[in-house]
Amino acid sequence: MEETIFIASDHAGFDLKKKILNSIENNLVDLGVDNMNSVDYPDYAKMLVSKINSTKNSKGILICGSGIGMSIAANRDKNIRAGLAFEPEIAKLMREHNDANVLVLPGRFMNLQDILKCIENFLTTNFEGGRHKNRINKLS
């Protein structure tokens, strides 16, 4: 079964999201925004979380200016483990150790090359399980 990857941003992440969509051959499902007009980031985080909760075998990518707002908003849902990656190794570790299902990116603080490597690591790294599974179970 193929994995569905949703992507959404607020206005501060719009330009980066466009660059990502133009750079990645993977079929990302774009949930918006579609322009630079000011929006409220929680609305887009909630939309992405809702899609993940209703779509088997799915993950998400959220982008805002700092990544912090989207992280907070997404992690309010009990089924979401959203991690803010500011360099590629973090994106790898959030999958290996935390089984993160949402990658959050700081649109104003990273270059495209590092962002694309974060996405690659997030999408290709598997959860290690073991002692990490016990820790994740304690989050519920």
To which H or E segment does residue 15 belong? helix 14-23
From 19, 46, 51, 97, the catalytic residue: 97
User: Is 11 in the active site?
Assistant: no
Each residue's pLDDT tens digit, 6-36: 999 999 999 999 999 999 977 899 999 999 9
Helix (H, G, I), strand (E, B) or coil at 73: helix
What is the CA 14 to chain-centroid distance, rounded? 14
Helix (H, G, I), strand (E, B) or coil at 48: helix
User: Phi and psi for 39 in degrees, rounded to 5?
Assistant: -135, 170
Each residue's pLDDT tens digit, 41-70: 999 999 999 999 999 999 999 999 999 999
Kindly report the CATH class assigned to 4-137: alpha beta
Q: Tell me the HSE value of 21 on the side-chain side, using a 13 A CA sphere.
A: 19
Cβ atoms within 10 Å of 40's Cβ, excluding its own: 12
